Amino acid sequence: MSVIQIKDKRFKTFIPEEQIMKEVARVADEINRDLSGTNPLFISVLNGSFMFTADLMKHLTMPCEVSFVKLASYEGTSSTGKVKELVGLGDDITGRTVVIVEDIVDTGLTMKQLVETLRARGPKDIKIATLLVKPDKLKVELDINYVAMNIPNDFIVGYGLDYDGLGRNYRDIYTVIE
Ligand code: IMP
């Protein structure tokens, strides 16, 4: 086990690289089995999912495409407060099978909003693939099709995930030490 320091917080190894790789390969196998022949468009949500997306894509065996989007947060005028706007999707997704690739589903609010935004663009089907889910924190109903790993509520970094912009470069996933 190794311990790292990022700003004011200390983290310890939680999910080693080998286990991440194994679960990512399993998810890719499931996608290969389910979506072959659909020419899916993978929509990777930056920044957190860049490593997961790259490793996942290496295992896919069907013809497929990938696009990268960002969700820009701004304070909305609606009562819900934070609104996240989808930036960067130039592709026409009408009639297409779309797979959203996320790093982590926490409350699920981000994902729900993203699904609704994409649905308005007329795809044939929307699937969700996420590296991690914190099931105990889910606040909304979501049909998550592909999950590499379920984790407890604790804050994690590494393998694309950050604490205040730092920590994305680590190969393993680390959990915060209280
Ligand atoms: P949600 O809308 O609550 O599901 O939040 C999802 C987003 O919160 C993810 O895409 C991450 O950017 C961020 N997030 C949630 N939990 C963590 C964590 O433990 N570490 C780093 N980022 C996290």
pLDDT at 60 over 60: yes
Q: How far is the CA of 40 from the centre of ligand 1 (A)?
A: 25
Cα 80 from Cα 23, distance rounded (Å): 35
pTM of the model: 0.95
Active site residues: 106
For the chain, the domains span: 17-150
- Nearest C-alpha to atom 9 of ligand 1 is from which residue? 104
CATH number of 17-150: 3.40.50.2020
Q: How far is the CA of 92 from the centre of ligand 1 (A)?
A: 27
Greater confidence, 42 or 75? Answer: 42
Residue 134 Cα: closest atom of ligand 1: 16
pLDDT digit string, tens, across residues 70-124: 998 765 544 455 668 899 999 899 999 999 999 999 999 999 999 999 999 999 9
Q: Residues 57, 44: contact at Cβ < 8 Å? A: no
C-alpha distances out from residue 56 to 4, 9, 130, Å:
26, 30, 10
- Tokens 């982590």 belong to which residue? 104
* pLDDT confidence of residue 72: 80
Q: How far is the CA of 9 from the centre of ligand 1 (A)?
A: 17
pLDDT at 48 over 70: yes
Residues in the chain: 178
pLDDT digit string, tens, across residues 131-155: 999 999 999 999 999 999 999 999 9
Q: Residues 134, 104: contact at Cβ < 8 Å? A: yes
pLDDT at 172 over 80: yes
Q: What is the average pLDDT across 48-62? A: 98
Residue 108 Cα: closest atom of ligand 1: 4
| Strand order across the beta sheet in which 125-133 lies | 82-87, 65-75, 41-46, 97-105, 125-133, 146-150
